[in-house]
Structure 1
C-alpha cells in the first residue's frame, strides 16, 4: 500500500489506511506500506520523526517504510505542490526494498502516492488498485487559494495518469463516480467501497466527561472535531459564537487555518480551541457535546464524506451539517437520519438548528440515537474491510496488471 497518511495519525485518511493494512497483516499477509512522516491534522511534523529521512518500522504486524517530505504549515498552491513533489521525488528515488508484491493499493487524494503506486505496480507487472477517498484536482480548483486553477490542472493530470493505469478503482461514495468516469475510467472498473466507523463507542458518563472538560451542564456545547483547513470554512462557527454568547463553540484539533481562526475569534469567551483528544478519549469527548458539527464552504464540490462523520454517528449525538444540500455529506446525513442540514456559511441558520435541538431534548436524543444504528447496519469495520477484501480479490483474479490497464486506457 502507498498512503501518505498512516498511524500514528488518528484522524482523516490515516485510520482507514492503517485499519486495512493491519487487517491484511492479521490474516497472515506480508503487508508493506510506503508512507509519509506523521504530520496530520496539525501540519507539523511529529516530534518523534524530526531529523529522520527514511525509516522502517513495524506497527500492528505491518512493515511501514517512511520517506521524508516537506510539511507546509500554511497552505498555498506552491507549498502544496512542493509537498507533493518532495513526496514523489523521495519515494521514487528510494522505494522500499520488499519482496515482489502481488498487488499495489494506493490511498488517494495523495497525488504523489497514486503516481508512485502506479509505477511500482507497472514495474512489478501486478494489479494496481487506487481507493479514492478524495480528489485533489477538485479540491484545488475550489480552494480559493492563489494559484488554485493551475494546481487543479496539474493535479487533474496526475489523477488521470494514476486512475488510467488502475485494474479496478475503489470509490468511497457514489458522488465520485462522475468525476472518475470523466477522467477516462471505464465505469465497469469502478467499485463502491464506503468507509467504516473506526472509533469505539463512548464508555464514560457524559456528565463526568463534561465536568472534566470544564463544560457547564447548563450551556449548549457545539463541537467540531478534526482538521481546521480552508475546505472546512470554520468561520461560520466563529461567527455563530459571536451572534449567540449563550452557546459554547469548541473547535477541537488543528490545521493550517487555526491561527487565522484564532485571530477571528479574539475576544469571544464562548469559543474555545482545544487540542485533539487522544484516541482512547476521543469517543467520550464527542459524546459529551450536545451537538456535533460538520462544515464546508459553499463553493466546495462535496463529493467525499468527511471521516469525522462516521465517528460522529457512533457517539449517539445529533449532527448539524452546514454543507451544500447536494453532495456526499448531505446524502450521508439524510441516509442516516442522524442530523440536521443547514445551508453552508450561514451562522444564523446553524444557530437556529442548534436552538431547535436544545428546545426539544427528546427529539435531539432520538435524532442522535439513529447514528449508532446506522453505524451497526452500514458502517461496521467488518463490512468495510470485507468490501475492500472483495475489491482486491477481484483485481487479483482479473489477471490485469497496471501495465495492461495503461495500455487499455
Structure 2
C-alpha cells in the first residue's frame, strides 16, 4: 500500500486530459476521483492528440514527461499520430504506444491494481503485462472493441486488422481479474472471447459535462444563430465511422436548415471540400470546456450519426453530453447497437435510418414545426442523466469494480497469461 494509507493505483489510458472528447474525459475523471478519495494515482498516457489526430502543440517534440494534475501524476510517452487512417498506420500507432510504454514504464513502485481503458490495444497489453509483473489485479474497462471498429470504420485493410485486433483483445480480456463494459451490448461479445460471464461487470459511462448555465437566446446571439432558424449541431470527432456526409447532404437539400459541425478529426477537410459553397453549412472548432454545455443547449437539434455499415456497441461520449444539454437528439444510426438503445431508452430523441439525409431532414422539420414537443423531448435528457447517468453513480460503479477486484473475484482460469 502507499505510505499515506491509501492504495497505489495505475491507470493505463492512451487518452487523457487536456483531451475533451472521446474516452479522455472519462479516464481523467476516474483518476481524479480516486485521487480525491485518498489513493495515490498514476496514469500512463500518450501525448494529447484526439480528436484532431495531431499532437497538441504544447507536447510536440516531447519524448517523455511527467506532470501533476488535480492530485494525479501523469506519465506521458511519445507515439506516432496518423493524420490519415489506414490499417497499417493504425498498427504503427498502436505499436509505438506499446514499444515506448514497455521500454520506459512509469516508475510508480508496486501498484495495488492496474486499470486500463480499451479500445487501445497497446494500452490493454501494457496494463495486463504490468499487472502480471507486479502480481496485482488487472481491470480493463471496455469502451469499444478495436476488432469491430477496424471493420466498421472504413479503414483500408480493416478485415485483416480486425482479425488481428480481435485475437489481441481476446487474449488481454481473458487475462483480466474483472472486465468492465460500458453497455450491455458488449456482454455477449466479451463472453464470446472466452471471458466468463461471472467476471463481466456493467459500468455505464456518465454525463461528464456540466449543465447549461446561460440563456439560450444569449448564446445563440453570440454564435450568430438568429431566432427562427433551425440549427442542427453535431459535436465531436469527425472521423470515417461518423459518416457526417449525411449532414452535409442535408444542408444541401434544405437551405433553411443551418447545419453546424463542431469539433475536429481526420475527415474535417474532406467534409469542408464536400460542402464548399453551402451558405448554411458551418464548421466550428471544439468549444472551450466552460462554454461547451451552453453551445449544445443553443442548438435546436443535436445530431449523432454513423455509417450504415456500423453496428456500434459503444456509446458515443457526445450522447451523454447531448442528454445533459436538454435538446432533442436525432440519431442517424442503425436501429440496433448501443447508440440506438440509449436514445430509445432515454426517450430524449428519435431514430432515423443512417446515411439518409431526407429522413434526417424530415425528423428535424417535424421538431421545428412543434417547438413545445421538441422542448418536452429534450427535457427528458436531463431527467435520464439524473436517473441513470450521473457522474456520482458512474464513478461509484468504477470504485465498486476496483474494490471487488482487490477483494478477490473468482479464481483466474488456468492458462491465462500475458
Deviation at 1:153, TM superposition (A): 1.3
Alignment of 1:369-388 (within 5 A): 369-388=379-398
Match of 1:22 in 2: 32
Match of 1:120 in 2: 130
Distance 1:326 1:57, change over 3 A: same
Within the alignment, does 1:7 sit opposite 2:8 as a pair?
no
Q: Which of 272, 294, 302 is 2:304 aligned to?
A: 294
Distance 1:175 1:259 in 2: 33
Q: SS state of the match for residue 344, structure 2?
A: helix
Q: Which of 377, 381, 384 is 1:367 aligned to?
A: 377
Match of 1:48 in 2: 58
Distance 1:77 1:263 in 2: 24
CA offset digits 1:325-384 (Å, max 9, x no partner): 111011101111000110100000000000000000110000000000110111111100
Distance 1:399 1:250 in 2: 48
- How many residues align? The count is 407
Distance 1:17 1:143 in 2: 23
Distance 1:284 1:143, change over 3 A: same
Q: SS state of the match for residue 258, structure 2?
A: strand
Q: SS state of the match for residue 43, structure 2?
A: strand
Q: Is the 8 A contact 2:293 2:325 kept in 1?
A: yes
Q: Which of 117, 136, 145 is 2:146 aligned to?
A: 136
Deviation at 1:35, TM superposition (A): 0.2
Match of 1:162 in 2: 172
Distance 2:158 2:334 in 1: 21
Deviation at 1:406, TM superposition (A): 6.5
Q: Is the 8 A contact 1:165 1:406 kept in 2?
A: no
Distance 2:73 2:416 in 1: 33
Q: Is the 8 A contact 2:328 2:375 kept in 1?
A: yes
CA offset digits 1:252-289 (Å, max 9, x no partner): 00001111111111111100011000100000000000
Deviation at 1:405, TM superposition (A): 5.2
Match of 2:349 in 1: 339
| TM-score (norm. length: structure 1) | 0.98
- Structure 1: stretches of 5+ with no match in the other structure: none
Distance 1:162 1:343 in 2: 35
- Structure 2: stretches of 5+ with no match in the other structure: 1-10
Deviation at 1:143, TM superposition (A): 2.3
Match of 1:407 in 2: 415
Q: Which of 192, 195, 199 is 1:182 aligned to?
A: 192
Match of 1:90 in 2: 100
Q: Structure 1 stretches (4+) deviating beyond 2 angstroms?
A: 404-409
Alignment of 1:325-336 (within 5 A): 325-336=335-346
Match of 2:284 in 1: 274
Q: Is the 8 A contact 2:236 2:264 kept in 1?
A: yes
Deviation at 1:144, TM superposition (A): 2.2
Q: Is the 8 A contact 2:236 2:263 kept in 1?
A: yes
Alignment of 1:140-155 (within 5 A): 140-155=150-165
Deviation at 1:178, TM superposition (A): 1.4
Deviation at 1:179, TM superposition (A): 1.2
